[in-house]
Amino acid sequence: MSVETIKSLFKELWIPYAKVTSQAEKIRDLLHAQGETIVNDHVAFRSFDLGPYPIQTLAQPFLELGYKATGRYDFKQKKLDAISFSHPSHEVPRVFISQLRVKELPDQAQAILKTLIAQIPGAQTQAAIRSELSWPPIEKASYLELAKVSEYAAWLSVFGLRVNHFTVSVNALKRFPELESLNSFLQAQGFRLNGAPDHSIKGNPQCGLAQSSTVADTIPWSFPDGELDLPSCYYEFAKRFVKAGESELFDGFVTQSADKIFESTDRKHHSA
């Protein structure tokens, strides 16, 4: 499978993501205007461990394109598992897929999710990752109930299996070769960063990866039973390092950092 085929897949994946993430287009345009070429470090998907699209199923299209697993991660507090994948060519983005351990949620949230999951048609992975939503829209009351116990579940119930975030590779930037300078530039342009002002950078050179992310856009959303402004998707920025004793850039992810980055879609950041 040629690298060009994979690149065209990522162009398709950008469409449903950008549709609810206008800041990503704006930041991309701003960086282009600065003369930068944007390279994607990784994209991330969210899913449920129950139903037709657990990690192993969502990963299948990427495995068929030659991707290999590079790490497994456990987010105890958020009740998530994740696996990361890289392509041996290193010319296309890494893929990070997480899944919610539905049975660890309280009974009421489980009941909402099991009803939703029962309506997901299976065996359509290629379509599901390119689509805006693969199941009937959830009701506002159910969304709010999920948000009480899992921001991840609430987000996923509304936005589906589309990419949750794209990630700019800071290693590939010329004017902003460090997260500090990029973050300052973005903040000066009016973008809000997760954890700002003091904790916008997660990770460090020693662990091989430093990341920052915007706070997700807030968008008006129409549920079958009402309207609500809610957090959609965010844009992420990653700088990779060669760890001590290694010869190549770190290729995986750091659980402690990703744990904080997940919170970029939390409602606490948003006035709604």
Give me the residues that bind Ni ion (CB under 5 A), please: 44, 236
Q: Identify which of residues 176 and 235 has a Cβ nearer to Ni ion in the complex.
A: 235
Residue 122 CB, shortest distance to Ni ion, in Å, is: 27
Instruction: Please tell me the number of Cα atoms within 13 Å of 43 on its side-chain side.
Output: 28
For the CB of residue 95, give the shortest distance to Ni ion in the complex, in Å: 10
**Shortest spacing between CB 111 and Ni ion, in angstroms:** 30
Nearest in space to 48 (alpha carbons), one of 128, 107, 114, 147: 114
> What is the gyration radius of the CA atoms in the chain, in angstroms?
18
Tell me the C-alpha distance between 67 and 195, whole Å.
Answer: 32
Residue 175 DSSP SS3: coil
Output the smallest distance, CB 217 to Ni ion, in A.
16
Question: Shortest distance, CB of residue 227 to Ni ion, whole angstroms?
Answer: 29
**What DSSP assignment string belongs to 230-257?**
EE--EEEEEEE-BPTT-SSB--S--HHH
**Is 24:17 a contact under the CB 8 Å cutoff?**
yes
* Residue 123 β-bridge partners: none
State the nearest-atom distance from the C-beta of 167 to Ni ion, in Å. 5
How crowded is residue 219: how many other Cβ atoms within 10 Å of its Cβ?
A: 16
First to last CA, the chain: 45
